[in-house]
Structure 1
Amino acid sequence: MTALATSDASSPCDAGADQDVAAAPRADCIADSAGGLTFDVTDPGGEGAAYLLLRRRDAASADEDVRLPLSPAADGRLRAALPSSVELAEGRWNAYAEVGGGTPRRLAPGVNDLRSLVDRAPSGARGYIAVRIPYATKQGNLSVRSWLRAPHAEIGELEIAGTSVTAHGRVYCTALTGAACAEASRRAEPERVERYELTADGVEFSFALRSDVLAESGPGPWDLWLRPAGESGPRIRLARLLDDVADKKQIFTYPSVRLDTAAHGPLDAGPYYTNDNDLSVRIREASAVEG
């Protein structure tokens, strides 16, 4: 994936018109391997103390806003730092410049240096995994996608052979026990669960599922989970977060297999990443076209 580029890729989840992007102050972003971000912002104008404001979409109140002081840096720009130690709730955070207590102005994206996020393997020493990826919305504004997982199960390679899908991954902030297993739960019927034996080597794991078995229930997605302590322990949503791609649904695509079922007719089945970069299996009518 491109790790150093202008932010011209938009998220399919962004909506709503915003300010004139051409007139907006711009921010270059540098990510570090610990999960921190540094913002270098062109002069937003105005007098008084300047802040970079992060506001989570659909937040219950402005009390959740995160304000980062903007201080003079090179080339007449202002710099703000979001350390990995500052928690940022999961979601999409819009970025603004706020000067002298005035109306916040949306920031436009500049260059994102995300090289440190490629093949990232955090220690998990804090007891959680923090992921922050800056990206451009489809209106051309700067936002940050944040995840906060404790513990976390990171998906790596997927091997697809016919109706078999083998997933390889790594667990963070917890240990795999001898009772560890993986699960697929039907989203429309969460009580309907298929369990899979896990092959584990330290913090690495793998398991295989059969999409034709899931298809016996008809169209509808199945969500994938890890149970590091077995059925009686916690469930961890399987996801792919530790790279530089904010929205994987349209980027990481996998082939589907055509299934002829007696009860539901022809179906297509295959793995995919959700809008939250969680791993699921899609079962849908063969004639269906995704919107």
Structure 2
Amino acid sequence: MSEAPEAAPARADCVADSAGGLTFHIADRARPGPGGHDDWSGALVLVRRGAADTPDGEVRLPLGPTADGRLQAALPSTVALPEGRWDVHVAHRDTEPRRLAPGLNDLRSLVDRRPGPSTNPLSVRIPYATKHGNLSLRSWRRAPHAEAGEIRLEDGTMAVRGRLYRVAYPSEWLAEAVVEARCRRSAAPVRTAPLVVDGPDFSFTLSYAELARSWDGGAQVWDLWLRPADESMAPARLARILDDVADKKEIFTYPPRTVSGPHGEAQAQPYYTRDNDLAVRIEAPA
């Protein structure tokens, strides 16, 4: 389906709840489908980019009327929405789905969200406007999940605080766990650092010099994970997804620090990826 918007597309307002669900209200063209006044056969159609033809690449949500005459569709947190970017459409009967434009978003419940105890996958959905002015969703579904919080940069190190979610006993999971930096180039060794644990909360300090020891002069990216001592347990990717910001890469920025490596001086800089995962880049000075 084309990313280019139609002329004067219908607009949808989005309301988020603290459990991770979304409710859509079609604010423009708020009327029944082509069949007439009693035709409420429409559906809100979510299509995952790059996966439209796969079994889990499309989700259809029934549309129904509200008291003020608009159309409404609900996406509860219990609906499993695979991770990715989902383009939002509206369709009536057998008509081709049409893209929706973003209206007003009420995402207050997502700010500083603190999910309750559960072992079910954590569902996060954040609506946003694409560069073409269309409505899309960024979806995450993770268990376990390590939410990154405050990041402090000191001489040659980064100190991170966070909280672990979606495990039965967080303090036991975190006992003897380590933070693990994995270079995207498989030839580089994995680097680890210990955690300081307080219940579900954790903190660690990562040395840039440790990451730069294997620097080859090019750009290296290190992805950060929490790895439990029990190898039967899944590791948790460090990320920041429990708020209302769909893309953090250009918003949460951190200054680079100079570090010595085998090929001279390098710059080390933490950043959030396009998926809002936490990583560190080591590269030559600009």
TM over 0.5: yes
Deviation sequence 1:48-84 (CA, Å, 0-9, x none): 4111000111116264311111111144310001011
2:44 is matched with 52
2:91 is matched with 98
Tell me, what secondary structure is at the counterpart of 2:211?
helix
Tell me, what secondary structure is at the counterpart of 2:209?
helix
Distance of aligned partners of 1:71 and 1:62 in 2 relative to their CA distance in 1, 3 Å threshold: farther
Distance 2:266 2:198 in 1: 35
Distance of aligned partners of 1:199 and 1:231 in 2 relative to their CA distance in 1, 3 Å threshold: farther
How far apart are 1:43 and its partner, in Å? 2.5
Distance 1:144 1:79 in 2: 17
Tell me, what secondary structure is at the counterpart of 1:97?
strand
Q: Check conservation: 2:268, 2:281, Cα contact below 8 A.
A: yes
1:168 is matched with 161
Distance 1:155 1:220 in 2: 21
Distance 1:165 1:231 in 2: 26
Deviation sequence 1:27-52 (CA, Å, 0-9, x none): 00000000000000033653341110
2:122 is matched with 129
Distance of aligned partners of 1:225 and 1:25 in 2 relative to their CA distance in 1, 3 Å threshold: same
Tell me, what secondary structure is at the counterpart of 2:82?
coil
1:113 is matched with 106
2:176 is matched with 179
Tell me whether 1:26 sits opposite 2:11 in the alignment. Answer: yes
Q: Check conservation: 2:61, 2:74, Cα contact below 8 A.
A: yes
Letter of the 1:235 partner, please give it. P
- 1:253-264 to structure 2, matched below 5 A, reads 253-261=253-261, 263-264=262-263
Tell me, what secondary structure is at the counterpart of 2:192?
strand
Letter of the 1:154 partner, please give it. E
Distance of aligned partners of 1:190 and 1:119 in 2 relative to their CA distance in 1, 3 Å threshold: farther
* TM-score, length-scaled by structure 1: 0.88
Tell me whether 1:38 sits opposite 2:38 in the alignment. Answer: no
Deviation sequence 1:99-153 (CA, Å, 0-9, x none): 1220000000001110000010111425221000000000000001000001111
Q: Check conservation: 1:271, 1:281, Cα contact below 8 A.
A: yes
- 1:127-276 to structure 2, matched below 5 A, reads 127-174=120-167, 175=170, 176-189=173-186, 192-218=189-215, 219-229=219-229, 233-261=233-261, 263-276=262-275
Q: Check conservation: 2:144, 2:234, Cα contact below 8 A.
A: no
Pairs aligned (count): 271
Letter of the 1:206 partner, please give it. S
Q: Check conservation: 2:25, 2:73, Cα contact below 8 A.
A: yes
How far apart are 1:255 and its partner, in Å? 1.1
Between the aligned residues of both structures, percent identity stands at 53
Tell me, what secondary structure is at the counterpart of 1:189?
coil
How far apart are 1:164 and its partner, in Å? 0.9
Q: Check conservation: 2:209, 2:260, Cα contact below 8 A.
A: no
Which is worse superposed, 187-196 or 22-31? Answer: 187-196
